Structure 1
Amino acid sequence: MPKAPKKVTKQQNKKVERKRNSLFQSRPRSFRVGGDIQPARDLTRFVRWPKYVTLQRQKRILLQRLKVPPQIHQFSRTLDKNHTTSLFKLLQKYKPETSQEKKQRLVEAANNKAQGKEVESKKPFVLKYGLNHITTLIEIKKLNLSLLLMMQILLNQLFSFLNCAENRVFHTLLLKVRLLLVNQFIKKLLLLQLSLL
């Protein structure tokens, strides 16, 4: 016969009572109004983030979750930084003249005409901008290169531009540029256009 299992005796933990000091009594903390200060918590989820941060986070989530139609997805391929800087250097040469420069040019032309000298009647080559202006340039087939700033343009404006541009041959570049860079040499833009007439 097998041996009987040994009986295991559990040792009872003897609680040692500490002598409490009657001067210091433990009181449970109360976190009610006017009570104890609450412990520090991680409140990053409840921070009021700047609007551009929330927008870019929401955009990223939407792009992950939604399938973007190919008609819209084609506009995500934009010009890289190096090409963009060289392009803006080129555009700097064709920037539209300010009102003071135009006034000065007209005064010089008037003085030359008064003195009997030859006056240049040709308008200088400048950058054309604005959606309406560019659609008219497309219609009269004078458009050579169009630049779209994807930070600023709305989809309905973009599609109206593309519908107008059907069966027309010209180069289009897509740029993702902050307006600060553009404002250095041009007014606020929806659409940039370099038209070499």
Structure 2
Amino acid sequence: MPDYDPLRSVRKLAYNNALANVRLYRACTALKPGEFEAARVSFFPSIKATLNHNLTVDWFYVDALEGGSLGLQAFEVDEPYDRLDDLSWEQAEVDRRLVAFCEALTPEEALRVIDIQRSGRIQRERADDVLNHLFQHQTHHRGQVHAMLAGTSVAPPQLDEFVVADDAQFRGAELAALGWDEIKLMR
């Protein structure tokens, strides 16, 4: 029986995050003109605004996890990208950074306290807690985009076929888009 790996779940959540984003962004590329920006009912008023929010929050937390100094500058522009292709590229880039961070994470580093710049203070949190928060945040807002897609010409894609081995038959296109294989995903 293999040894228990306490960080396997963290890596799998990072993979899930990137895979789900590939699928969600691919669905969004099929939107008709105007649907990406159209006003919708949700926490953020459009698919564009929600995806931009996910991106800026990722910039903020991934940079903090990496020990960077971006801080609140991540939020200087509410919607830094008007075009889906630019937004998609930037999201894929920060997803790559998050996966790399999680792949390199050791149990000791998961317990490391990181500094997160807030308005007028520094928040101090364990890296594993920040990762859990970030994955939950992404899932929450991807769900909102999923619901908003139901009101467009594009059917919302399945977003939860990325963690268990039995779903391998459904995720080949996303793995190929990322240059991954099942061995990477299941280790």
Structure number with bigger Rg: 1
TM over 0.5, shorter chain: no
- TM-score w.r.t. length of structure 1: 0.24
